[in-house]
Amino acid sequence: MTSLARTFIFPLLLGSLFLLPVSAMAEESSTKTFSADDINRATILFEMKGSNTIGESLAPGLAEEFLKAEGAIRTGVVETHSVEKTVLGQFPDGTLKAVDIKAHGSSTGFKALAAEDTDIAMSSRRIKEKEREQMRGLYGDLKSVDSELTIAVDGLAVIVHPQLAVNTLDTETLARIFAGEIRNWQEIGGPDQKISLFARDDNSGTFDTFKSLVLSRHNVKLSEYAKRYESSGELSDMVFNTPGAIGFIGLSYVNQTKPLALSESGVALSFKPNLFTVSTEDYVLSRRLYMYYPANNQNPHAHRFMQFVQQDQAQTVVEETGLISLKVNDATIRFNRNYPPRYLNMITDSKRLSITFHFDEGTDQLDNKAKLDIQRLVNYVNQHQLEDLFLFGFSYESGNEDDDKDDSKRLARIIANELEKAGVKPFYVQGYGSKGAIASNGTENGRNKNRRVEVWVGR
C-alpha cells in the first residue's frame, strides 16, 4: 500500500518557470496539456483501484478538484490505458503531483486492498462478507463508518435500442431475457425481432449488482451468448448501434439509448430511472457507489481526499458526471393507490425530499449513509427554514400486521430522535407498516428497501 506519497523521479524545476507570475501560469494552463512523460516526473499522492463506473469519469473529476483544492494551478488527465488514468496537478512551485486510477472492476479494488496495493478501493457494490472477513486482520472492519463511504448513488439502467417498441419490464422477465430463455421481443408483446444481449464483464461491480438483483433473484445464469464489455461507455454504444439490443449499465452511460421502466415481480409499482427515483433508492435497480479507505491507513493525502469527497464541491462533480449526488432536493410525487389512505392524505400538499433513511440488515442501526444523511438533512432544514417536516416509516411484510406497524413506527421515531439531538424537531412522525412496498419481500435487498423512513415537507 502507498502509505506515504511515492515519488518516481524528483521533479525538474525549470528556471524560467519561476519567472512566471501565478496569473501567467494559470493562463498557460488553459492551453497546455499533460503528457505521459509528466507522469514520470510526478509525485503520486495516492492510488485508487476498482469500479469502472466510478473510475471512468467520476474519480478523475474528483481527483482534479481535490488537486485544485490542494493548490494546483493546472490540472489534467492522462489516459495510460482504456480504463487506467493518471490525474496530474502542477503547483505554484513547479512541482507535479498526481493521483493514479485503475478501473478494472470493483472486485479488483478489493483484491488490491487485500494485497496492500492501493490506498482506496472504488466499488459499485457493497463489500462482500468474505472480502470483509479476509481483510479484517489487516484493516479492522471495512464496513465501519470510518472505512466505508457512499460517494454517490447510481441507477443500474436497463437500456435498449432507441427504436425498440418496449417500455416496461419486470425483473423476472428481464432475468429470462438475459438467461436466453426469451430470444425474440415478440414473445413479450414487442416486435418480431431477435434479442441481442450485452453485459459487463465478471470483474465489474455493475455485473455483480445485476447478477444479485436480477439473475440470482430468479435462479438463472447469464446466457453464454451475451457479449461482455469492460467499459460501460463501449457497451452503451453497442446497444445504440444494434437493433433489438438490450444491455445494462450505470445511469450516467445511458447516452443515446432508451432506458426501461422496471418493477419487481409481484410489485405493482414500476419506476423509470431518473434523478429522484434513484436518489430516494425507490428505483428497483438503484445502487450506491462506494469508496473504501482503511481507517488505519497512514497516507495523509488519501485521508484528506476522503474528507473532500463528502463536501458540496465534490458532490457538484458527481452531478457533472451524470451520477446522482448526495445533495438534498425535493420533488412532487405522483400518488399511488397502493399506499395507505391516511398517508396519501398527508402528502397531498407536500413534497418529498430525496433522502430516504435505511438501516443495517435486520437491525435498528442506521446504515453508514443514513448516519451522514442526518446532518445533511439538518443542514437543509436550517438553510431553508423548514417547519413542517414529516417522517413516514415503512417495514417489510413479516406476516404479522401489528408487528409491521410497530416496526415502522419505531424506525420513524429513531430518525426523529436523531434529528432532535441535532436541534430539528419533526412536525409529524408516523409508521404505516408494510403497505406501500417498493420491492419484493422475497429477498434481503428487497426487504431492506421496504424497511425505510421517507422524509416529506409541507409546501
The residue count of the chain comes to: 459
Rounded to 10 degrees, what is the CA torsion of 363, 364, 370, 373? Answer: 180
**CATH superfamily, with its number, for domain 154-279:** Periplasmic binding protein-like II (3.40.190.10)
Across residues 62-87, what is the average pLDDT?
A: 95
**Residue 349 β-bridge partners:** none
Written as nine digits, the cell of 125 is 457494490
Across residues 241-268, what is the average pLDDT?
A: 91
Percentage of the residues of the chain whose pLDDT score is greater than 70: 91
Written as nine digits, the cell of 163 is 427504436
2 pLDDT above the threshold of 60:
no
Nearest-angstrom CA–CA distance, 450 and 436: 8
3-state secondary structure of 206: helix
Written as nine digits, the cell of 195 is 434479442
Measured in degrees and rounded to the nearest 5, phi and psi for residue 378 equal -60, -45
Average pLDDT over all residues of the chain: 89
pLDDT category of residue 65 using cuts at 50, 70 and 90: very high
365 pLDDT above the threshold of 80:
yes
Across residues 311-327, what is the average pLDDT?
A: 92
Rounded to 10 degrees, what is the CA torsion of 448, 310, 332, 273? Answer: -60
Query: How many CB atoms neighbour CB 36 within 10 A?
Result: 10
Give the pLDDT score at 203.
Answer: 85
Q: What is the DSSP string of 306-330?
A: HHHTTSHHHHHHHHHTTSB-S---E
For residues 414 and 366, is the Cβ–Cβ distance under 8 A?
yes
Check residue 292 and report its DSSP letter. E
Across residues 269-273, what is the average pLDDT?
A: 85
| Domain extents in the chain | 36-147+293-319, 154-279, 328-458
Angle formed by the axes of helices 401-421 and 368-384, nearest 10°:
60
pTM of the predicted structure, to 2 decimals = 0.81
Q: Which amino acid is at 2?
A: T
Give the pLDDT score at 20.
Answer: 33
Question: Residue 137 to residues 114, 199, 291: CA-CA distances in angstroms?
Answer: 10, 35, 19
Percentage of the residues of the chain whose pLDDT score is greater than 90: 73
pLDDT in tens, 9-42: 323 333 333 333 333 333 344 436 899 899 999 9
Nearest-angstrom CA–CA distance, 138 and 117: 13
Angle formed by the axes of helices 59-69 and 300-308, nearest 10°:
110
**CATH superfamily, with its number, for domain 36-147+293-319:** Periplasmic binding protein-like II (3.40.190.10)
244 pLDDT above the threshold of 50:
yes
Question: Residue 393 to residues 229, 312, 335: CA-CA distances in angstroms?
Answer: 40, 28, 17
- Which is nearest to 148 in space by CA: 317, 290, 351, 302? 290
CA angle 54, 238, 185 (to 5 degrees): 115
3-state secondary structure of 298: coil
Nearest-angstrom CA–CA distance, 50 and 114: 12
- 270-271, strands of its sheet edge to edge: 168-170, 261-263, 270-271
169 pLDDT above the threshold of 90:
yes
Beta strands in 13-57 (DSSP E): 43-50
Nearest-angstrom CA–CA distance, 369 and 41: 38
Across residues 306-328, what is the average pLDDT?
A: 93
- Residue 266 region, left (φ>0) first, then alpha (ψ -120 to 50), else beta? left
Q: What CATH number matches the domain at 328-458, 3.40.50.10420, 3.30.1330.60, 3.30.450.20, 3.40.50.1860?
A: 3.30.1330.60
* CB-side neighbour CA atoms (13 Å) of 317: 19
Spell out the residues 6+ positions from residue 367 whose beta carbon is closer than 8 angstroms to its own.
Answer: 358, 359, 360
pLDDT in tens, 322-362: 889 999 998 877 656 567 778 888 888 889 999 999 999 88
pLDDT in tens, 204-234: 888 988 998 899 889 999 999 999 999 999 9
Residue labelled with grid coordinates 392524505:
345
pLDDT category of residue 268 using cuts at 50, 70 and 90: low
pLDDT category of residue 265 using cuts at 50, 70 and 90: confident
Nearest-angstrom CA–CA distance, 336 and 376: 28
Across residues 186-197, what is the average pLDDT?
A: 97
Residue labelled with grid coordinates 523521479:
9
Q: What is the DSSP string of 208-265?
A: HHHIIIIIGGGT----TT-EEES-HHHHHHHHHTSTTEEEEEEGGG-TTSEEPEEE-T
175 pLDDT above the threshold of 70:
yes
